[in-house]
Structure 1
Amino acid sequence: MKSINQRLFHKGKSIVSIGSIFRFIIIIVAMCMFVLSSIAFFSTQTILFGNHFEFSPDGINFYIKQFARYNGLFAATITLIVAYYGIERLRAAERANIDKVRLDRYSDWKTITDARLDVVKDENPLFRREFITIRYQLFEDLYPAFSIENKKQLQTLFNKYFGTLIPAFESNNQKQQGIGGIYTSSDHSYFGQDFLFVFLGSLTGKKYDKADEDLLQMYNDNLPHDRIINSLSYQIALERYLKYKHKQ
């Protein structure tokens, strides 16, 4: 489905681009032809004003014949105007096709992200709400390839959508709250792996080799610097937390 949608998207873009070139040419030529046709019409009409017009079959036939020498010019002008409207209809049809492909692709991607969000929603409902809020904007940035080519692209997306929210995602995680916000090391996080599971897991395209490592590092770099890091305290708090969860 993905490859078919991408081919339709690129095909639609190329057709619209070609249509835009023809549209520009036709508009320019049609404007010139319209000006010439207007000059021919009004010049002929000015000459006819000097003649007595009879409202009869012969009079009307005579009137029409005066324009016959310009029939090629008038026909070409009308043809170009009709062609212009034909291209406009083609452009509208192609835009509708591209929009349909985009909406179908978003529906597919939304299903993928919903399935992953369902896994973490109980542990971190705030993340689910925030991700749904920015989901369509993120989709627009990822469409149509849904791939991460390099660290720069990943960093840009991370900073744009998640960077400032990482402390909130981390502190609203149930396990982090249950253990009292104590960390076993500076590389430890409570929600980092779940964040990768949802974000990188929803990318159906290609990801560069170290994308997982780089994203986890970006996540950890945005954690509060004054958090408690103590491996012994963490072990004690973890045992207490697990006992509490077991009793539940």
Structure 2
Amino acid sequence: MVKSCIKISIIVGFMAFFLTSVVNAKDSGWKEAQNKMFEKIGLKSGEVIGKDNWKKVEGLVPDDMVKWVREGKVIMNIGEFGYDASNDAEWDEYGLKHNVGKYSLNKEGVIIETATGKYPKWVYGYPFPDIDLKKDPDAGIKFMHNRDITRGRDGSFKSPFTVEWIGKDGFERVLQNNYYRYNFWGTTETKDDGNANDMMFMEVTVVVAPYDVSGTAQLTYRKIDGSDDQLYVYIPAIRRTKRMSGANRSDPFLGSDFTVDDGNGWLGHTSSMDWKNI
């Protein structure tokens, strides 16, 4: 039997540091802090984690991933974060300078302008830059709204990706895809366009290969008012576009275990969930 191994580069230092402490983008000592975190969790850049030393990642990654490593199905290549986060200072400073008190939440948990009660056409920088994580009962949802806005910093972009089926006997099949996204919030590209259609973002996922499903495309419109996404799917086999429900983002993607949300970790409406900072 052919043993299947997935080589995964995990930016452990940055991930662990980010999840356990507040990261200041202007901190010139970010790399030193990363090195300290490597020492704390007992991993080194360049280290290979497999079935003989799987305990080193126990508690750092999901239990299922630990199981795959322990069983020899997955090999982890540990890497360090090489990006200087200090050039994020402009983003952080914009929110503190322009957004303190500017935005609030309506009863549904959707972002509104404090002064007008209307949905903002354009948001840049953290909408809630000064959250009191200990005392504010809405700290959880405000934190998630901040996280949502950061996704828009890329503006418009194209990102190729694959969905691969790996079974116990090895590789089975693969889908090759292109992902396109146009953000209205979080980017200076749309500052002066007026956002007449009240969009937060638009995205398109197109299957490129294999041939039998090539051309399958999914279009999503996300509005700023918290309403369900407008979702359309083009199916080349029948040459028809179908309107789908945008309420359920956990449907499988073309027969895989991969869902619409998986690529972003969470891409649903933040206002549709209850959030609590613990």
TM-score range, shorter chain: under 0.3
For the pair shown, which has the larger CA radius of gyration, 1 or 2? 1
The TM-score, its normalising length taken from structure 1, stands at 0.20
The TM-score, its normalising length taken from structure 2, stands at 0.19
Please state which structure has a larger fraction of its residues in helix. Answer: 1
